[in-house]
Amino acid sequence: MSSNQIAPNDVASVSERLAGWIETISTDAVSARTSATTRDILVDIVGLCVAARDTDYVRAVKAAAEPGDHIIIGHAERVSPSSAALINGTAAHGEDFDDTFEGGPVHSGVVLVPALIAAGQMHGLSNARVMLGMAVGIEVMCRLALTLPKAVHKAGFHPTAVLGAFAATAGICAACQADRKTTANALGIAGSMASGIIEYLGDGSWTKRMHPGWAAQSALRAYGMAKAGFKGPRHVFEGTHGAFSAFAPSITPLTDKLFADLGQVWVMDLITFKPYPCGTMVQPYIDCAIALKARSVSTGGIRRIVCKTAEGIVHRLWEPLELKQQPPTAYAAKFSVPYGVALGLVRGHADLGDFTDQSVTDPELLALAAKVDFEIDPGNPYPAAFTGHVRIEYEDGRIEEAERGHMRGGATEPLSRQEIDDKFRANMRFGGHADPDAVLALCDRIASGEGHDAIIRELGQK
């Protein structure tokens, strides 16, 4: 019996079962639809990295980087592999404009694209292997989110950060054609690197932005250590002190969601591409508010604005209510339903330029946000779907109302390829890039599996 096999009477652990699938996965196993989804995620993330490249938080992470020869997307500087993954992941997630997965929620592209771009350079991978690694990692991340619905957030952790470390490790192992033993050990090691608390919700500080990059750089370490022979715990997920117990103690993990039709059905194809640069669950409320503005409803004489909401999002997007009604920073405003509703009703849009220090002090927006309150809807389907509801109650008794049963950009109402590419172009221009179409063509070359890491390196050119 080889060292990569399990004894006949032993039951494979969760990590070993995942490793068995990863060991056998090939580029041929990825459907055309899943390949297209992976391509769109790559395009979206590259555009977001450029959009955020001149922000203060990206400059801060760059200043702390170690030297090396790995690219930072949209920058001339070169840094170490880990620093590249950290910076690119931070930039991609910094404006909260990245893909999301209803059913989690998790943001996968911001972890997997930076991790695989760094791994591709580090290990000299073909672009076909890089794209396979992205697809595998994104799929694992979405399935882990389905395994622990709502529970990671409930425990005070950021699912993108925690689950991202495992997912990026899985993706790198797939791209590098790691054997089963190496992958299982790498996942075990990643369990001690997974982290990310959600205390940033209290003051709009920056740590959420770095979570995907931290997960991505952790995965590089986990794979490298496992390849060198370092051992991780077999039962890193389901063990007494494993990730499921540590990060989601309130539920029994739905492990069947992790393995049901794995490799046959790609749940990542249901990923949502955001139309607005803010928290995922805020977006249907913005759409409701924009719909009301399109009906020319008045913003004068309003007694109050009431939104039906899921109990599971209250602690992140509604409380403390006074803070959400008057966000202390532009970043905090991205996780405020009252601010998002005010934007939709007053401006009729929610763009990158609407989440600035100037906008969050706009008296008209704040006056309206102060009238937004919520009521919990016990029948809300969250996290299976992200919904929105806005009811305006006027002093004279009139009521205006709008409702959405799903998030625009998701499986029910997906963004078209044209809309995704147009979003990319707008983000590139926001970041000061003069030729978005040239970079879009470069992304398509990578997504097609053409060439090796030399093409990826072109993403680091301004």
Per-residue pLDDT of the chain (462 residues; tens, 9 = 90+): 333 344 444 799 999 999 999 999 999 999 999 999 999 999 999 999 999 999 999 999 999 999 999 999 999 999 999 999 999 999 999 999 999 998 778 999 999 999 999 999 999 999 999 999 999 999 999 999 999 998 999 999 999 999 999 999 999 999 999 999 999 999 999 999 999 999 987 787 899 999 999 999 999 999 999 999 999 999 999 999 999 999 999 999 999 999 999 999 999 999 999 999 999 999 999 999 999 999 999 999 999 999 999 999 998 899 999 999 999 999 999 999 999 999 999 999 999 999 999 999 999 999 999 999 999 999 999 988 899 999 999 999 999 999 999 999 998 999 999 999 999 999 999 999 999 999 999 999 999 999 888 899 999 875
Whether the Cβ atoms of residue 144 and residue 272 lie closer than 8 Å to each other: no
Q: What is the DSSP string of 44-56?
A: HHHHHHHHTTTSH
CATH number for domain 280-404, candidates 3.40.50.2000, 3.40.50.720, 2.40.30.30, 3.30.1330.120:
3.30.1330.120
Tally Cβ neighbours within 10 Å of residue 156. Answer: 13
Rg (CA), the chain: 22
Instruction: Say which DSSP state 163 is in.
Output: H
Q: Residue 196 gets which letter from DSSP?
A: -
Answer yes or no: same fold for 14-274+420-460 and 280-404: no
β-bridge mates for residue 372, sequence order: 305
Closest listed residue to residue 314, CA positions, set 370, 373, 385: 373
CA angle 324, 326, 328 (to 5 degrees): 95
CA distance 33 to 62: 36
Backbone angles phi, psi at 98, to 5 degrees: -95, 170
Rounded Cα–Cα distance for residues 364 and 368 (Å):
6
Any idea what the Cα angle at residue 191 is, between residues 239 and 164, rounded to 5°? 125
Q: What would you measure as the largest C-alpha separation in the chain, in angstroms?
A: 80
CA distance linking residue 79 with residue 289, whole number of Å? 43
Per DSSP bridges, beta strands 399-404 and 388-394 are antiparallel
Cα 167-95-291 angle, rounded to 5 deg = 110
Q: Are 336 and 373 in contact (CB under 8 A)?
A: no
Continuous segment of H or E residues that includes residue 151: helix 151-154
Burial class (CB in 10 A: 0-12, 13-18, 19+), 301: exposed
| E strand or H helix that includes residue 399 | strand 399-404
State residue 462's pLDDT score.
Answer: 57
Listed by start position, the domains of the chain span 14-274+420-460, 280-404
**pLDDT score of 452:** 86
Q: Judge whether 92 and 114 are in contact, CB under 8 Å.
A: yes
DSSP-derived letter for residue 307 is E
Question: Does the 14-274+420-460 domain belong in CATH 1.10.4100.10?
Answer: yes
Residue 186 near residue 169, CB atoms below 8 Å: yes
Q: Which structure tokens are listed for 415? A: 């963004």
With 0.85 as the threshold, say if the pTM is over it: yes
